[in-house]
Amino acid sequence: MATFNCPKCGAPVEFDVKDRLVRCRYCSSEIFIDKSGAGFYYVLPFAIDETTIIGTFRRWAGGSTKAKDLDKYAHIVSVKKSFFPVYLFKRDVDGSEQVFVEPAASTTLPGLHSLKVPGGDMVVYDKNFDAKGVDMVKPDIDMASYLDKLPGRAKEQALVYFPIYVLDYAFAEKNWRTVISATSGEVFSGDFPRRSSSAYMMVAIVGFLAFLTEGFLAAVDPLLALALIGITVLVVFGASYFVARRM
C-alpha cells in the first residue's frame, strides 16, 4: 500500500486510491487528502490469466457476427501483455463534478480509441508496485497540456495504467489483432472477419412467405393446406438447423 507521512506526527500513513479521509494509526488524527494540487499515478493490476484470456477470445470468436468457425480455426500467433495509460481528470465545473478521460499515449491498437478507464481494483502506482516485467506503455502526451484546456477547477487528476492483452491471430490467410481487457475480459475489438446474415435471412423470408401463401390456401382447400404446412415446417426446420450449425 502507498504511504505518506502524517502531517502531525510524521509517522507513515497507508492510504488507498478511494480514500479521502484517513486516520493516522499512531496519533489518531484524521487527515484529509487534498488531491486537487497533485498528479497521481494509479494502476489496475492484471486480474485474468493468459489461459482464461485465450478462452475468452475463443468465446468472442464464436459470436454470431464473427466468421463461421473463427473460434476453431483462428490461429493465435502471439499474446502480449502490457499496461496502457490514460488520463483521468475530475473537475469542478460550476459546482458540479465532471469526469474527463483523455489519451495519454498515441496508439495503433484496435479498440482503444473509445477512451475509458476500465473498472478494477485500482492501486497507487509507486515503487512498491511490481509490474512483473510487463511492458508499461510510456505516455507521450503531457498531463499539463490538458490541464489548461479543461473547464472548471481541478479536483483530482491521475494517470491510470490499465492491463491489456494484445492478441494477434491469423484466419483465412490474413492477420488480425484484437485487444482484451485484463480486468473484466471485455474485448476491445477493432475489425474482425465477419459472417454474412444472408443465409439466415433467406430461411426466415422464404419460410414466412410460404406460410403466408399456405394460410391463404387454407380458405380454399384446408386439407391440402394443412399437409403443405406440415411439409414446410419440416423443410424450414431442416434448413434452419443446417444454417445454424454450418453457415
Partner 1 sequence: MSISVGLNCPACGGAIQVADGEQVVNCEYCGSMLYLEGDGGVNTIAFKMKVDRGAARAVSEEWFRKDWKARDLRKEAKVLEIYPIYLPFWSIKMRVIGWICGYDERTYSDSKGHTRTERIPKEEMVLNDYQYSEIACDPGDLGIKRLRNFLGESEFEDFGNIPTYEATTSKDEAMKRIGEEALNDARGEAHVQHVTFERVHVLPRALSMIYYPIWVVRYGYREKMYIYTVDGVSGEIISGRAPGDPLFQSLAITAGTTIGGLIAAGSLYLMAASETMDPTITLIGLAAGAIITFGAYMFFRHGSEIIEGDFTDKKYGLGGLDEMGVVSDLLKGRIDLGGRI
Footprint on residues 115-144 left by partner 1 (CB under 8 A): 116-122
Residue 62 found at the interface with partner 1 (CB under 8 A): yes
What number of chain residues touch partner 1 (CB under 8 A)? 83
Strands 39-43 and 153-171: parallel
Residue with cell 458540479: 96
Instruction: Count CB atoms within 10 A of the CB of residue 201.
Output: 11
Q: Do residues 185 and 56 touch, judged by C-beta distance below 8 A?
A: yes
- Mask of contacts with partner 1, 42-61, x by CB under 8 A? x----x----x-xxx-xx--
* Binding string, residues 87-106; x marks residues near partner 1 by CB under 8 A: -x-x-----xxxx-------
138-197 binders of partner 1 (CB under 8 A): 155, 181, 183-187, 197
> From the CB of 22, what's the least distance to partner 1, in Å?
8
Considering only 33, 105, 154, 228, the residue that binds partner 1 (CB under 8 A) is 33
CA-closest candidate to residue 186, choices 85, 117, 232 = 117
Q: How many Å apart are CA 139 and CA 84, to the nearest integer? A: 9
Q: Segment 67-86, which members bind partner 1 (CB under 8 A)?
A: 71
Minimum separation from the CB atom of position 103 to partner 1 (A): 16
Q: Phi and psi dihedrals of 34, rounded to 5?
A: -90, 105
Rounded to the nearest whole angstrom, what is the least distance from the CB of residue 137 to partner 1 in the complex? Answer: 19
The values of phi and psi at residue 42, to 5°, are -120, 160
Judged by CB under 8 A, the residue of 10, 20, 145, 222 near partner 1 is 20
CA-based nearest residue to 232, from 224, 220, 246: 224
